[in-house]
Structure formats: C-alpha cells, structure tokens
Amino acid sequence: MWLTSLNVVQEYERAVILRLGRILPGGAKGPGLFFVLPCIDTIVKVDLRTATFNVPPQEVLTRDSVTVSVDAVVYSRVFNPITSITNVKNNMYATQLLAQTSLRNILGTKTLQEILSDREIIARSMQVYLDEGTDPWGVKVERVEIKDVRLPVSMQRSMAAEAEASREARAKIIAAEGEQKASRSLKEAADVISESPIALQLRYLQTLTHISAEKSSTIIFPIPVELLNFVKQRSI
C-alpha cells in the first residue's frame, strides 16, 4: 500500500509534480488539495502573482557620448509554470539579468535628449524586448518603468550654463526687436510732426499737462515765438 501525503496549493500558486523525474500528465496542479507520494514525487510550487524588481543603476554611454546612470523597475509574472521550471533554472534571476543587459543595449542607441524626453517610448521598447526574451521561460513582462536618469555633476553644470546662456540670448533678441519697433514708431511720429510744425508745440503742451497732473508744482516754460506768430496770423 502506497503512503500518500496531502499538499495544499494557494489560489495564486500552481504545483508542478515530478514523479521519478518526469512531470505528471495534466500539467500543473492547483489550487486546492491534492495527494503526492513521498520519496517518489517532487513538488515545486510556482507563484503566479506579479513580481517586481529594481534594475540596479546602469552606467550607459549614450549615442552622443554622454555617460548617464539609469535605473528601472520591471513587473513580471509566470504564465506557464511547467516551462518556468523545465526551461530555466531560476526564472526571476534570469529575468533580472536580462533586464540589466537590455537596459544598457537600448539606451546605448539613444541620445541624451531622447533619454530625457522619451522615457515612455524607451520603457515600451524595453518591455517588448524583454517579453520576447522571457517568453521561452514561461515569464510575461507586463510593464517596465524608467525610475531615474542621473547625469554627472559636470554635465549638469554645463547644461545649466547652456540653458542660462540661451535664455540671455533670447532676452537680448527680444530687447533688440523692441528697440527696433520703438525706433520705427518714433520715425513715423517724427514724420507726422514734420508735416505740421505746430504739432510739436502741441505735443510739448500735452507733456506739460501730464507733468502738472502728476506733480503739484509750479511749472514755468517760455511760449515759443512760432506759436505767437501763428496766433497773430489766425487773428488777421
């Protein structure tokens, strides 16, 4: 009479049973209660829940010869328990190593600007690349996220100086354009005033009116002779 033992597999687990080195027909067992033969059956429980792991920071030389340090997070799960046991020794460790090399290979083809601005595109590319590599292991890579991109301190200072110089250049261009527009407006005003000499005097009086309205002080100014001549001519 064979002795049997009871084993319980949780809802999120599957059990791969090897009897004398061969996997039993029917595939993985579980969830629930089942019997195994001691000393004959070997049971390996596989967790089907999504697992996460950090990809250690990788020193990467970008396509434009800039050294950056990039780390990421990978979300993966086992979708085929039997394949994950028979085709790879440690599927989680193998996936971690593949993620490290994939991150270096993909980022090596990108420029610094692309790495900083296209994180989502890089993450999707890395997910597809990893999924193709882990599919024979029975592992599905669900998601990849780029956590951080760190630049050397010297590069940060250079980028800050470049950005400041760019802002100063734009400010000077805007100021020059403003001076150019102002000079054109002044030229047009001078042309209008030159057509009527009395217009300059009227503008002078208007300026004095503004000054007297802003400051309560006595303002003494001479009356131009041209204005008196103009009044005299009008009276005749």
Given a cut of 80, whether residue 227 has pLDDT beyond it is no
Quickly name the fold that domain 51-155 has.
Tetrahydropterin Synthase; Chain A (3.30.479)
pLDDT band at 138 (very low <50, low <70, confident <90, very high): very high
Given a cut of 70, whether residue 233 has pLDDT beyond it is no
Tens of pLDDT, residue by residue over 147-186, are 888 887 766 677 677 777 888 888 888 888 888 888 888 7
pTM for the structure as a whole: 0.64
pLDDT at site 1: 41
The whole-angstrom separation of Cα 52 and Cα 207 is: 75
The strand ranges marked E within the chain are 5-9, 13-19, 22-23, 32-36, 41-47, 51-61, 67-78, 139-150
Buried b (16+ CB within 10 A) or exposed e, 47-71: ebeebeeebebbebebeeeeebebb
Backbone angles phi, psi at 87, to 5 degrees: -100, -15
Check: CB of residue 137 under 8 Å from CB of residue 88.
yes
pLDDT at site 180: 86
Q: Could you tell me the two tokens for 206? A: 């208007």
Q: Where are the domains of the chain?
A: 5-47, 51-155, 189-236
Tens of pLDDT, residue by residue over 7-53, are 888 888 898 888 888 888 888 888 888 888 888 888 889 999 999 99
The whole-angstrom separation of Cα 57 and Cα 104 is: 10
Given a cut of 90, whether residue 200 has pLDDT beyond it is no
Q: Could you tell me the two tokens for 122? A: 């890089």
Check: CB of residue 62 under 8 Å from CB of residue 28.
no
pLDDT band at 141 (very low <50, low <70, confident <90, very high): very high
